[in-house]
């Protein structure tokens, strides 16, 4: 198959496998999603969902969050890892939202990426899932699978995002990025598939015999 043919095949197959794509991180609005995505850096969604109920019970708005100290936030989110940095970012971005955005999460890539602890991936998730803007957040599963499926050279996540956006229709980006994540977790995990084991890898590359190792 040519690259575009592989992309079309993947697009069709994942839509059949995962017609529904619930957002993995529990949240109630753009602010709680923003905090949850920030906490998910180098942490599993399962762990984040175990931690956020206690945090959001105390503070589910920027106004409530800044009433907590950074130390209080850090104690609650400690199981997510990187708690000193994440707690400081959560408190500081909450203060900025109040002072510069009337307590609301801005509906803008530029403004989101100015917030402490918020990179392009986090901004992309919020723009896609809270506001419905086309975005293709690239996490470790997507970066790895895009390489295994030969949709990108894997040079970096920026290149992967750009390559995937060229291959898939814009109206599929928001749903498809979740479908790829779900497929990676369920059928093609990093330690369970090296490009020659799962059904999709075998269908895409029936003659592939040598295991692949994706770039980080």
> What is residue 158's predicted lDDT score, i.e. its pLDDT?
95
pTM for the whole thing? Answer: 0.92
Residue range 114-142: mean pLDDT, rounded: 96
Ranges for all domains in the chain classified under CATH 1.10.1670.10: 3-21+137-204
Q: State pLDDT tens for residues 157-192.
A: 999 999 999 999 999 999 999 999 999 999 998 887
Name the CATH superfamily housing domain 30-129: Hypothetical protein; domain 2 (1.10.340.30)
> What is residue 215's predicted lDDT score, i.e. its pLDDT?
78
The one catalytic residue in 121, 171, 209, 216 is 121
> What is residue 196's predicted lDDT score, i.e. its pLDDT?
87
Domain boundaries 3-21+137-204, CATH class: mainly alpha
Higher pLDDT, 23 or 215: 23
pLDDT above 70 coverage of the chain, percent: 100
Tell me whether residue 121 is one of the annotated catalytic residues: yes
- 182-189 own/partner pairs: CB under 8 Å, 24+ apart: 182/17, 182/18, 182/21, 183/14, 183/17, 183/18, 183/145, 184/141, 184/142, 184/144, 184/145, 185/141, 188/145, 188/148
The one catalytic residue in 45, 86, 139, 163 is 139
> What is residue 190's predicted lDDT score, i.e. its pLDDT?
80
């Amino acid at each position: 198959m040519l690259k575009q043919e592989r992309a079309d095949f993947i697009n069709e197959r994942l839509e059949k496998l995962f017609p529904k794509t619930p957002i993995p991180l529990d949240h109630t609005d753009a602010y709680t999603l923003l905090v949850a995505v920030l906490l998910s850096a180098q942490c599993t969604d399962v762990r984040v969902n175990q931690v956020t109920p206690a945090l959001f019970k105390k503070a589910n708005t920027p106004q409530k969050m800044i009433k907590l100290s950074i130390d209080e936030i850090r104690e609650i989110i400690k199981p997510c890892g990187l708690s000193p940095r994440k707690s400081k970012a959560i408190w500081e971005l909450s203060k900025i939202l109040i002072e510069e955005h009337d307590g609301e999460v801005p509906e803008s890539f530029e403004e989101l990426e100015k917030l402490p602890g918020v990179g392009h991936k986090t901004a992309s998730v919020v723009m896609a899932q809270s506001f419905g803007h086309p975005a293709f957040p690239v996490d470790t599963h997507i970066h790895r699978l895009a390489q295994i499926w030969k949709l990108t050279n894997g040079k970096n996540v920026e290149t992967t995002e750009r390559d995937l956006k060229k291959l898939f229709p814009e109206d599929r980006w928001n749903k498809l990025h979740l479908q790829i994540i779900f497929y990676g977790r369920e059928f093609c995990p990093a330690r369970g598939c090296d490009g020659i084991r799962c059904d999709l890898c075998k269908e895409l590359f029936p003659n592939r015999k040598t295991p692949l190792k994706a770039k980080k």
